[in-house]
Structure 1
């Protein structure tokens, strides 16, 4: 999911707070800018934005699947689909506010978020699949919430370097920056 904002979106003020300057070079790898403006802070914010949409979709999908008594596979598929829907929606909300039409906003969201969401969903669902007992835990079990929280930590850890790499190449969430 791709996002890098405080709640789900950021403002030009936040770019200033991050010292966003194109053309700076990263010599230390510790938060300074690369030639394309990528920092670990920017990548973490993009990942948090992505994680917000994914988490909303994942939890909603699990709630719906559980409420309807669906099996694990159907519930997981719904959760993944909703993670993409909410991930794209959060990005679209920001670029629609910037004046893009719906079609253009959807194109920006696809470009900004697809790779991030894919990595996040693989890490998130992979963690739940291998976490002992997590697939059988119900919403009222502490194991369900502990495994879900751990899966989000793993997803964040896996996806942040991916987002840094993408942003550093002018891809991923970097395509959204021109609209903020």
Structure 2
């Protein structure tokens, strides 16, 4: 269950992260601007995927937002910390262009590391009735 919750979280985060990195790099933004955009979009897409399922279950928007925030914030935060930490520490990753193997390789390794680091966090939260355990009450 924790791995599935993390994969769900990773999907939203990866969409936002990749989109942010691609847009920031394509526009020639600096490392900080690109990373901030990627983080903001990762949270946005992560929450959006959770909200979609909760709203589809018939939950009102206000409650759905509260549930998504409670379920995903820690998971997304850990994922983004690890993901962006790997990219920031990877030699040449922040200066790589979209056509560089380094850009895509570092991003893939960073997302994989984020998955590995976040799965125990989700397991811990689910074991305490938090995180995606809350979301599953609405499915």
TM-score class, shorter-chain normalisation, is over 0.9
Inter-partner Cα distance in structure 2 for 1:56 and 1:47: 14
Structure 1: state its 5+ residue gaps. Answer: 1-41
Q: Could you say which structure has the higher helix fraction?
A: 2
* CA offset digits 1:80-106 (Å, max 9, x no partner): 000000000000000000001111111
Could you say which residue in structure 1 is the equivalent of 2:25? 66
Could you say which residue in structure 1 is the equivalent of 2:96? 137
2:36 equivalent to 1:77: yes
DSSP 3-state at the match of 1:171: coil
**Which structure has the greater CA radius of gyration?**
1
Inter-partner Cα distance in structure 2 for 1:84 and 1:141: 26
Could you say which residue in structure 1 is the equivalent of 2:80? 121
Inter-partner Cα distance in structure 2 for 1:149 and 1:51: 12
Moved more, 159-168 or 64-73: 64-73
Inter-partner Cα distance in structure 2 for 1:90 and 1:83: 11
Structure 2: state its 5+ residue gaps. Answer: none
Inter-partner Cα distance in structure 2 for 1:62 and 1:110: 24
Shift of 1:109: 0.4
2:114 equivalent to 1:169: no
2:7 equivalent to 1:52: no
User: Which of 94, 99, 124 is 2:53 aligned to?
Assistant: 94
Could you say which residue in structure 2 is the equivalent of 1:158? 117
Provide the alpha-carbon RMSD of the alignment: 0.7
* CA offset digits 1:26-62 (Å, max 9, x no partner): xxxxxxxxxxxxxxxx000000000000000011111
TM-score, scaled relative to structure 1: 0.76
Inter-partner Cα distance in structure 1 for 2:92 and 2:125: 35
